[in-house]
């Protein structure tokens, strides 16, 4: 048994984080935030121990950048090239 899997949605607004960059709280296990919620200093009610002053790390996501079409992943676009 390890740490719980990171949620694929924003812990504040429930936005799908599967193919976009996200911020992971280094102190709250299983809390991911979209960039919009992170930049607004969100403290989700579902995570009462989370504070905006917590340390964070950026989720490394190869599918986060859109080159041609928003419905394509970066991996798909690079394969096309």
What pTM did the predictor assign? 0.65
Q: Which of 3-17, 41-55, 61-75 has the lowest mean pLDDT?
A: 61-75
Percentage of residues in the chain having pLDDT higher than 90: 40
pLDDT at 71 over 90: no
- Lowest-confidence pick of 7-11, 44-48, 52-56: 7-11
Q: Which has the higher per-residue pLDDT, 15 or 18?
A: 15
Answer whether 52's CB lies under 8 Å from 25's CB: no
């Amino acid at each position: 048994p390890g740490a719980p899997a990171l949620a694929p949605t924003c812990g504040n607004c429930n936005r799908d984080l599967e193919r976009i960059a996200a911020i992971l709280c280094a102190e709250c296990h299983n809390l991911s935030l979209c960039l919009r919620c992170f930049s607004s200093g969100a403290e989700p009610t579902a995570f009462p121990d989370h504070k905006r002053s917590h340390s964070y790390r950026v989720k490394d996501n190869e599918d986060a950048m859109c080159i041609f079409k928003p419905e394509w992943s970066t991996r798909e676009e690079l394969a096309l090239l």
